Every structure is written in structure tokens, then in C-alpha cells.
């Protein structure tokens, strides 16, 4: 993450190795361009995760899918060069999803273990409501809240609007944009995301 909040490209790789289990690995690039310093670029920190769905939604009633999805951020990036945090971070969330025809709603939250000088552990929660507009286009809105992640920091509440567009069965465009509602100037005046999702397998 750069000083201005820019997040460099990364690969969010997931594999369903077993029923109800998803393995996750996210390697990524990193760069640092602090004012008056030489531009630095290289390999960033590595994210690893494992999602386990222990309740499967029942389409005949209101029972949703429920999963745990612990994550670890491993300090593989060079902290002295500004390309990593130099410490291991962890996130322990619970996620819930329910589908109703063309509508999908999902969300949840959890606790971030956030070591480091000036940092503090924090909570994050969010919820999405999404609807399929056409056969290959779904749009949705997300509301989220995060408690302060640093000593003397501020909590924030915000929103994102986004969706997915299916080019075909294997290639999908993911997009979103949003901003904070609470403490906008200090936390998030504007953010956006654009990604290409490739799916396959049985």
C-alpha cells in the first residue's frame, strides 16, 4: 500500500480442494513512494486463508450458508524498503449468505489481530445486498464499519457500489467504488476496485 492509499495489483487465488473447503492464497506486488524518498517496488506481504462452510443454505426456508474464513498476512515483503509490515497479521471472521431468486445477500465480520508500532487490534463488519439485473450482470451495494486500527485513529463507516459482469462462464469483470460516510477525510474520501476473475474446474 502506498502513502496515498493505492493498493498495487495482486492475484486472489482460490481452490476448492474438499467439499465445503476453500483454500486461499494472495501474492501481490508492493510499492512505496513517500515524499522525498526513492521509489521502491517489489514483492509484498502474502495472504493465506482457509474457508470452511459448516452450514449449507436451505432453499426451502430461511436457513443461510455460514462459514468461517481465517486469514493470515505473512510478512514476505521488505519492511525496511516500505514493501511490507514486518509482522504477521490475522483476521478471524464469520460470513453468512442467503439467496432468494435473483437476490443475494451476504456479509458478516470479525476481529483483526494487528501488531506493529502504533497499531491496535480492530473489528470489521460489512453487509451486501445484490441483485441479478440481466443474465450476465449483477449489481449491489455494501455498507461496512471498522473500528480504529491505530492508536489515536478513528472508526469509519462507509459504502461501496459495484457488481459483476460475466463475459462467459470462465471470465468475469468485478468492479466497485465508494467512500466513507463517517470521518471521510481521515479514512476514505474515495476508493475503487477493478478486477478480472477467472473460474474453472469441476
Tell me, what's the pLDDT at 29? 85
**Are β-strands 40-43 and 191-198 bridged in parallel, bridged antiparallel, or unpaired?**
unpaired
Please, are residues 158 and 183 in contact by the beta-carbon 8 Å criterion? no
Per DSSP, the three-state class of 149 is coil
Residue showing cell 516500505: 82
**Three-state secondary-structure class, residue 186:** helix
User: d(Cα 133, Cα 30) in Å, to the nearest integer?
Assistant: 36
The per-residue pLDDT for 40 is 84
Distance CA 49, CA 184 (A): 30
Whole-angstrom Cα distance, residue 29 to residue 2? 11
Q: In this predicted model, what pLDDT tens digit does every residue of 136-156 receive, in sequence order?
A: 999 999 999 999 999 999 999
Question: 186 phi and psi, to 5 degrees?
Answer: -85, -20
pLDDT of residue 80: 86
Using alpha carbons only, give the angle 98, 63, 197 rounded to the nearest 5 degrees. 25
The pLDDT, as a whole number, for residue 35 is 62
Q: What percent of the chain has pLDDT over 70?
A: 94
CA separation (Å) from 174 to 33, 56, 58?
Answer: 27, 25, 27
Radius of gyration of the chain measured on its C-alpha atoms: 18
Task: Tell me the pLDDT band of 2, cut-offs 50, 70 and 90.
Answer: very low
Residues 47, 82: Cα–Cα separation, whole Å: 17
pLDDT tens readout for residues 25-42:
999 888 887 766 788 888
Q: What per-residue confidence (pLDDT) applies to 10?
A: 83
Rounded mean pLDDT, 171-199: 94
Amino acid at each position: 500500500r502506498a502513502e496515498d492509499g493505492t493498493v498495487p495489483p495482486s492475484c486472489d487465488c482460490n481452490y476448492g480442494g474438499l467439499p465445503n473447503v476453500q483454500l486461499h492464497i494472495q501474492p501481490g506486488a508492493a510499492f512505496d513512494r513517500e515524499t522525498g524518498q526513492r521509489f521502491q517496488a517489489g514483492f509484498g506481504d502474502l495472504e493465506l486463508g482457509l474457508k470452511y462452510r459448516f452450514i449449507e443454505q436451505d432453499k426451502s426456508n430461511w436457513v443461510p450458508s455460514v462459514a468461517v474464513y481465517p486469514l493470515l498476512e505473512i510478512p514476505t515483503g521488505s519492511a525496511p524498503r516500505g514493501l511490507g509490515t514486518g509482522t504477521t497479521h490475522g483476521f478471524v471472521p464469520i460470513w453468512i449468505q442467503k439467496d432468494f431468486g435473483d437476490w443475494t445477500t451476504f456479509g458478516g465480520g470479525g476481529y483483526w489481530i494487528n501488531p506493529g508500532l502504533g497499531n491496535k487490534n480492530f473489528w470489521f463488519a460489512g453487509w451486501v445486498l445484490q441483485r441479478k439485473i440481466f443474465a450476465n450482470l449483477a449489481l449491489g451495494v455494501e455498507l461496512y464499519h471498522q473500528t480504529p486500527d491505530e492508536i489515536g485513529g478513528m472508526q469509519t463507516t462507509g459504502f461501496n457500489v459495484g457488481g459483476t459482469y460475466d463475459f462467459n462462464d470462465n471470465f468475469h469483470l468485478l468492479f466497485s467504488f465508494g467512500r466513507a460516510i463517517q470521518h471521510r477525510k481521515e479514512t476514505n474520501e474515495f476508493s475503487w476496485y477493478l478486477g478480472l476473475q477467472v473460474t474453472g474446474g469441476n
